[in-house]
Amino acid sequence: MARQSPQRPDADEPELDDTDAAAAADEVEEDRPPADRALWDEVRIDPVEIALPAGTGFTLRAYRQARELTPTDVAERDQDDPFLARRQVVETEEDEEVVILDEEFAALSAEEDDEDEEKDAKSRRKGKAGASDDEKAEANEDEAEDDEDEDEAGDEEVPVFLTHKGRLLLFKTPESLVTFIRSGAPNDLSQLDSWNELSERLEPADIAPLDEDTYELDLVVENLRGGHDAWDHELLIEAGEIARDLAYALRLPAVLDMLSAGSSLDDLDEALRASVNGGVGGFLGRRRLKKIGAQTASLGWRTIVGKISAVVDWRD
């Protein structure tokens, strides 16, 4: 079918310049009703849009207490990873090298860990038996503190995504995401008590992520390469947030280490956050940014984006 040429405006109608056209577009946006958030608020799950070098996709994210969640199973994923499946070299007492498979190495390490734990437990029991009352009281206090720390860790809210067997499920269209959810296919979000309600009520029109749930990881490396003056602070701060969430949920310790407190990329994140706050803190934050190497930051983020991309399962 031939493409129709645009109609010429009526002579009596004034032509809109670029400014008027932009204003008219803004009015249309304002008149458009916002997506209904009632369902998402009820199920405490949110739609998320993530852009990666390979494309842009939709997924889901929730926050729950750590004690309520079973982490995603990464055994199959790691088995397929050529770097993690490499053979291990163990030195014997005679300094001879013996090559064993990962499975054997893991089993051997697990046995040694069990033996060490048993020895530690016996030592603690033995220590308590022969300890004075003060020493026993101190030991009981230490155990109580350890239990309290474990309880606090269990009460901490942690992220969980639409994942399966250590891979992030990303869907190129809202329709394909909804079809997957309704299908009853296995995934890590199905453990949530609100999952059944979501799967029954969700419609493609509901897949409308908020601005704060839209992330552009595909732009991070190029933006950092542009130098300090070109850095998009909001882009980079949001990238750090989603990367930390994904690294935790997908069990990517290397990414967590790269973004951990005291790391160069964490220093970058803190300086970016300080610089947008204004005042003296903002001035000091901008000074700190000038000392951070653009090349180092871009290389670090290229690694992070690559590791996240490697565990994405794209769905049409």
Lowest mean pLDDT segment, chosen from 14-23, 144-153, 254-263, 295-304: 14-23
Instruction: Summarize pLDDT for 130-167 with one digit per residue, the tens.
Output: 445 555 555 566 565 555 555 555 689 999 999 999 99
Instruction: Summarize pLDDT for 206-229 with one digit per residue, the tens.
Output: 999 999 999 999 999 999 999 888
Q: Where are the domains of the chain?
A: 40-77+160-315, 79-150
CA distances from 222 to 235, 241, 295, 297 (A): 11, 18, 11, 11
State how far the Cα of 96 lies from the Cα of 143, in Å rounded to an integer: 42
Percent of the chain at pLDDT exceeding 90: 54
Instruction: Summarize pLDDT for 33-65 with one digit per residue, the tens.
Output: 456 799 999 999 999 999 999 999 999 999 999
DSSP string, 77-91: HHHH-TTTTSPEEEE
Instruction: Summarize pLDDT for 183-202 with one digit per residue, the tens.
Output: 999 999 999 999 999 999 99
Residue 175 confidence (pLDDT) above 70: yes
pLDDT of residue 294: 86
Ramachandran angles phi, psi of 314, nearest 5°: -75, 135
State how far the Cα of 34 lies from the Cα of 30, in Å rounded to an integer: 9
Is residue 305 a contact partner of residue 265, using CB atoms and an 8 Å limit? no
Residue bearing the bigger pLDDT, 266 or 9: 266
Residue 10 confidence (pLDDT) above 80: no
pLDDT of residue 243: 98
Residue count of the chain, please give it.
316
Residue 89 confidence (pLDDT) above 90: no
CA distances from 72 to 162, 188, 243, 291 (A): 10, 6, 17, 38
pLDDT of residue 84: 55
Residue bearing the bigger pLDDT, 4 or 247: 247
Ramachandran angles phi, psi of 278, nearest 5°: 80, 180
Residue bearing the bigger pLDDT, 90 or 79: 79
Residue 241 confidence (pLDDT) above 50: yes
Nearest to 293 by CA among 272, 264, 316: 264
Q: What are the contacts of 68-76 at 24+ separation with CB within 8 A?
A: 69/158, 69/160, 69/191, 70/188, 70/191, 71/251, 72/163, 72/164, 72/165, 72/166, 72/188, 72/249, 72/250, 72/251, 73/165, 73/166, 74/165, 74/166, 74/250, 74/251, 75/165, 75/166, 76/165, 76/166
Can you state the angle between helices 233-249 and 294-309, rounded to 10 degrees?
40
Rounded to an integer, the average pLDDT of 263-273 is: 91
Q: C-alpha angle with apex 70: 64 to 73, nearest 5 degrees?
A: 130
Rounded to an integer, the average pLDDT of 288-314 is: 93
Strand, coil or helix: 207 = coil
Q: C-alpha angle with apex 48: 44 to 49, nearest 5 degrees?
A: 170
